[in-house]
């Protein structure tokens, strides 16, 4: 496989001449596909945040599954003799993908590409390699998958402009993304002179950014260098856990995810990319978190990023979030920091007789589950859904029997025994 750069990236501001930053992706063609998709969706695209009830939702301008298929299509239809890289230009509300390649002559418009048609890749041997590697599901299915992904996302189909000079694909932002971008709460905001994105500008987000900014600035002051992104994620994770240890509460409510190199906060990826950390932090906040941060810096600041990554790989919550996920993939399952806290400190409490059982309740004080670390099982539910439904029906029958004035004494006593049990 070729090792030339197939992808050239650029992020543009208000005009085509306003190039903010750019990147190249190198490696084998198969490697470059994964690297390119990851780079676009972690560095170049912003995820705007909104809430559906209590559910936090990240909204990108264009579905990742569709973008990946467009890129795969560009790779297998590229004219490699021209030695021109695929060019990906990202703007605030659209993406352009240019490819020095050709399509079959009968497929000369967007409408025809999304109609039923035969598969005639410009590089059939290359297409066969991608098919056998599992990156292409079935020949001729690429445009169907793009259409399905866009429909599922309530987004627009990409627009293809096919000419003698190559293939230009325009991917426009979906309506929801544009709504958030133009909405007062969905716009890029300024807080203390720093940028932050989405409607995640709530109290919890500010608390997280204050903690991250404290770590960022303290590390810069004490070490004389900027903390790298991987290390910042890990320091935040250990700070969150230390807060449970010292104060029995989290520093912030944002969620960690179990990515391949350890725990990460998606919001921090955006903030780090845009250098959006606060330069000035309220003294009251500094005073509240200082003891926690002193411990975290003492324990972890002198360790390198990869050592911290390996430490988080040993955490039970990270392992739980990785179940069913391949080694090289990132997980969208959240990490429960409190599980690691209990694993490390709860067993000692149990042995000392301080805490025999842990009970988990919802906001209505209903018992959801209980567990004892001595029994060897962590977070065992009281019932599964089938048992809950059956138990509820039995409970109703018992109550009905107790309320039924015609029930004899034996029936009532039997019902009372069941209820007590």
What whole-number distance in Å separates Cα of residue 376 and Cα of residue 373?
Answer: 6
- The most confident of the ranges 50-54, 72-76, 92-96, 283-287 is 92-96
Look up residue 78 and give its DSSP letter.
B
Rounded mean pLDDT of 114-128?
74
pTM for the whole thing? 0.47
Q: What is the pLDDT of residue 80?
A: 80
- Alpha-carbon distance values, 185 to 116, 179, 182, 188 (Å): 42, 10, 8, 8
Q: What is the pLDDT of residue 224?
A: 92
Cα four-point dihedral sign 311, 313, 56, 148: positive
What whole-number distance in Å separates Cα of residue 59 and Cα of residue 206?
Answer: 20
Rounded mean pLDDT of 140-168?
87
Q: What is the pLDDT of residue 206?
A: 77
Instruction: Tell me which residue of 138, 32, 15 sits closest to 86, measured CA to CA.
Output: 32
More confident residue, 316 or 99: 99
Our CA dihedral for 251, 254, 258, 260, rounded to 10 degrees, sits at -100
∠ CA 138-63-275, nearest 5°, is 135
Q: Contact at 8 Å (CB) between 367 and 293?
A: no
Q: Where in the chain is the domain with CATH 3.30.565.60?
A: 7-180
pLDDT beyond 50 at 143:
yes
More confident residue, 53 or 375: 53
SS3 234: helix
Instruction: Tell me which residue of 355, 337, 334 sits closest to 346, measured CA to CA.
Output: 355
pLDDT beyond 50 at 12:
yes
Instruction: Tell me which residue of 81, 86, 48 sits closest to 70, measured CA to CA.
Output: 86
- Write out the two tokens for 36: 């390119």
pLDDT beyond 60 at 32:
yes
Q: What is the pLDDT of residue 180?
A: 83
Rounded mean pLDDT of 146-156?
90
Element at 98 (helix H, strand E): strand 94-99
Q: What is the pLDDT of residue 90?
A: 92
Q: Where are the alpha helices (DSSP H) in 248-282?
A: 266-273
Buried b or exposed e, range 136-175, using 16+ CB within 10 angstroms: beebeebbebbbebbeebebebbebebeeebbbbebbbbe
The CATH topology of domain 7-180 is Heat Shock Protein 90 (3.30.565)
What whole-number distance in Å separates Cα of residue 373 and Cα of residue 357?
Answer: 8
Our CA dihedral for 316, 320, 321, 324, rounded to 10 degrees, sits at 140
Rounded mean pLDDT of 397-402?
64
Q: What is the pLDDT of residue 369?
A: 57
Q: What is the pLDDT of residue 234?
A: 92
Q: Contact at 8 Å (CB) between 170 and 159?
A: yes
SS3 50: strand
Reported as a pLDDT band with limits 50, 70 and 90, residue 204 is low
More confident residue, 367 or 103: 103
- pLDDT tens sequence across 166-195: 889 999 999 999 988 876 343 333 323 333
- Write out the two tokens for 211: 């903690």
Q: What is the pLDDT of residue 316?
A: 66
Give the lowest-confidence range in 195-204, 258-267, 307-316: 195-204
Share of the chain above pLDDT 70, in %: 68
What whole-number distance in Å separates Cα of residue 367 and Cα of residue 359?
Answer: 7
- Write out the two tokens for 221: 């002051």
What whole-number distance in Å separates Cα of residue 259 and Cα of residue 32?
Answer: 19
pLDDT beyond 70 at 339:
no
Rounded mean pLDDT of 246-268?
83
- The most confident of the ranges 109-118, 373-382, 385-394 is 109-118
Q: What is the pLDDT of residue 51?
A: 67
């Amino acid at each position: 496989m070729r090792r030339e750069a197939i992808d050239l990236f650029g992020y543009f501001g208000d005009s085509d001449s306003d190039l903010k930053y750019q990147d190249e992706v190198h490696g084998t063609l198969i490697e470059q596909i994964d690297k390119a998709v990851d780079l676009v969706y972690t560095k170049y695209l912003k995820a705007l945040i909104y809430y559906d009830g209590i559910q936090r939702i990240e909204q990108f301008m264009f579905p990742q599954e569709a973008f990946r298929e467009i890129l795969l299509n560009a790779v297998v239809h590229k004219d490699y003799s021209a030695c021109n890289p695929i060019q990906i230009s990202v703007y605030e509300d659209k993406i352009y993908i240019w490819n020095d390649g050709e399509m079959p002559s009968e497929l000369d418009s967007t409408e025809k590409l999304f109609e039923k048609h035969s598969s005639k890749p410009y590089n059939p041997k290359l297409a066969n390699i991608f098919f056998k590697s599992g990156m292409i599901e079935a020949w001729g299915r690429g445009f169907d998958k793009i259409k399905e992904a866009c429909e599922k996302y309530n987004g627009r189909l990409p627009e293809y402009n096919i000419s003698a000079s190559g293939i230009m694909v325009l991917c426009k932002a979906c309506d929801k993304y544009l709504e958030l971008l133009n909405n007062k709460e969905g716009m890029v905001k300024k807080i203390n002179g720093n940028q932050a994105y989405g409607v995640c500008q709530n109290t919890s987000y500010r608390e997280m950014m204050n903690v991250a900014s404290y770590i960022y600035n303290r590390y810069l002051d004490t070490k004389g260098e900027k903390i790298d992104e991987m290390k910042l994620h890990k320091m935040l994770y250990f700070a969150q856990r230390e807060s449970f240890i010292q104060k029995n509460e989290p520093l912030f409510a944002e969620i960690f995810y179990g990515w391949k190199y350890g725990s990460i906060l998606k919001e921090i990826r955006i903030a780090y990319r845009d250098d959006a950390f606060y330069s000035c932090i309220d003294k009251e906040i500094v005073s509240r978190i200082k003891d926690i941060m002193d411990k975290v810096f003492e324990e972890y600041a002198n360790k390198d990023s990869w050592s911290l990554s390996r430490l988080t790989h040993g955490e039970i919550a990270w392992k739980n979030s990785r179940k069913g996920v391949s080694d090289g993939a990132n997980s969208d399952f959240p990490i429960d920091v409190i599980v690691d806290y209990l694993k490390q400190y709860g067993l000692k409490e149990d042995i000392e007789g301080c805490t025999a059982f842990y009970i988990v309740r919802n906001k209505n004080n209903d018992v959801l589950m209980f567990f004892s670390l001595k029994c060897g099982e962590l977070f065992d539910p009281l019932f599964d859904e089938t048992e809950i439904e059956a138990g509820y029906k039995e409970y109703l029958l018992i109550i009905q029997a107790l309320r039924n004035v015609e029930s004899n004494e034996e029936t009532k006593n039997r019902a009372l025994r069941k209820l007590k049990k």
